[in-house]
Copies of this chain bind each other. A is one copy, B any other.
Amino acid sequence: MDFELPGEDDPRRVEVRAWFEARPRPTGRQLAEAGYATPHWPKPWGLEAGPELQLIIDEEMKRAQVSAPNLVNPVAINNCAQSLLTHGTPAQRERFLMPAIAGEEIWCMLFSEPAGGSDLGSLRTIARREGDHYVVNGQKIWTSLAHKSKIGVLVARTDPSAPKHAGLSQFLIDIDSPGVTVRPIIDLSGHENEYNEVFLQDVIVPADRLVGQEGEGWAISMRQLQTERVALSKPGAIWGAGPSARELVAGLDKIGALTDPLVRDEAAKLYIEGEVLRLLAYRSLSDRMNAKAPGPEGAIRKMLAAPHGQRVVELAKRVQGLSGMLEAEQPFPPTPGRKGLYDDWDYAFWFSPAVTLGVGTQEILKNVVGERMLGMPREYDPSAVGPWNETHGGTEPAKAAAKAEAGA
């Protein structure tokens, strides 16, 4: 057992570092062709790299201040594109993979819908086959990067008479197709984050954009959502990004707030949680290094990390007192070199309610943990049996409904 990371003198590290020193400003295409965009993929796109090499490449890329391809085009590289390796046609691989991993074509996920929420399988967007193409109608929501994307990974219902999960198929659509409208969502902080609503009206999708077979949409999408990239996920408050408990303690120390015994005790609890979450991330990395298949521990980590992050930014906000209610007022002097969207403590606080909602709500995660890791009985879903168009007849789009209900 050993808690240290691969050393400076590791030959693999030396080689990768040399490559970056030879190319101070590599293009996405160069990175992709070197296999550094998707090192864990097979050739020609990757290096069939094990987790340790992937980690080294991550670190050396950071060291060279090259923005990581998986942050440039996260949906393609972290989740979706690899499905083409198994389910795609040669033509699809040829057409889509290199531009995707080179970051030349940004991808987005057209999965969630207003009426669906956690119940993704109940989605209502319909793709009707007409000769050599499909006609798509429906609405998607919480689509990150849609406004920057060329390609949308769409899950739509091709067989309304099949049970909810069986009738779904996946497509790669052009976001600039006629009938696609992208509308940004303003969150409660008032900021325009990267989320969008996407409206699909009579959108024509060529049949050769179907991924895998009709009816495979659910299986393919689930695998894409569960893909957990090997990475040293930081214990930042917002899905690993943003300020961590370490920065909280450092900040509280700077402003002298640690002299307050109540703040001290709360900060210590958060510091300990943060350090343990860091170790848990290391551990799952180490499991991969020992060729253990990724299990549902990812769900445990997020189940723990999300409320932890909320508490971290909440304590920082609370020590501000009245001033904390003023927009853009920061609790601490900024951490040098931290310029991410969530590194703004004030924004991170107001954004934080999202972290127990996005990427699986806290309730769903606890179901996953309880059922898949502790063998508790599955939740009973009466709407999972029988034809979708019978089990999901009447309901209104949730947003309108919700608004009405909330008396807004």
Q: Is A261 an interface residue (CB 8 A)?
A: yes
Return chain B residues, CB-CB under 8 Å to A262.
261-262, 265
Majority SS of interface residues in chain A?
helix
A385 smallest CB distance to B (angstroms): 16
Return chain B residues, CB-CB under 8 Å to A261.
260-262
A264 smallest CB distance to B (angstroms): 9
- The chain B residue with its CB closest to the CB of A382 is B380
A261 to B260, CA, bound (A): 9
How many chain A residues touch the partner (CB < 8 A)?
5
Q: What 0/1 readout, one digit per residue, does chain A (226-260) give for beta carbons within 8 Å of chain B?
A: 00000000000000000000000000000000001
A265 smallest CB distance to B (angstroms): 6
A221 smallest CB distance to B (angstroms): 29
| In the complex, chain A residues 369-390 whose Cβ is within 8 Å of any chain B Cβ | 380
Q: What 0/1 readout, one digit per residue, does chain A (191-205) give for beta carbons within 8 Å of chain B?
A: 000000000000000
Return chain B residues, CB-CB under 8 Å to A265.
262
A265 to B263, CA, bound (A): 12
Return chain B residues, CB-CB under 8 Å to A380.
380
A265 to B261, CA, bound (A): 11
- The chain B residue with its CB closest to the CB of A266 is B262
A363 smallest CB distance to B (angstroms): 15
A32 smallest CB distance to B (angstroms): 52
- The chain B residue with its CB closest to the CB of A265 is B262
| In the complex, chain A residues 187-220 whose Cβ is within 8 Å of any chain B Cβ | none
A328 smallest CB distance to B (angstroms): 30
A261 to B265, CA, bound (A): 11
A69 smallest CB distance to B (angstroms): 47
Q: What 0/1 readout, one digit per residue, does chain A (149-181) give for beta carbons within 8 Å of chain B?
A: 000000000000000000000000000000000
A380 to B380, CA, bound (A): 11
- The chain B residue with its CB closest to the CB of A380 is B380
A234 to B260, CA, bound (A): 35
A265 to B380, CA, bound (A): 43
What are 6 A-B residue pairs whose CB atoms fall within 8 Å in the complex? A260-B261, A261-B261, A261-B262, A262-B262, A262-B265, A380-B380
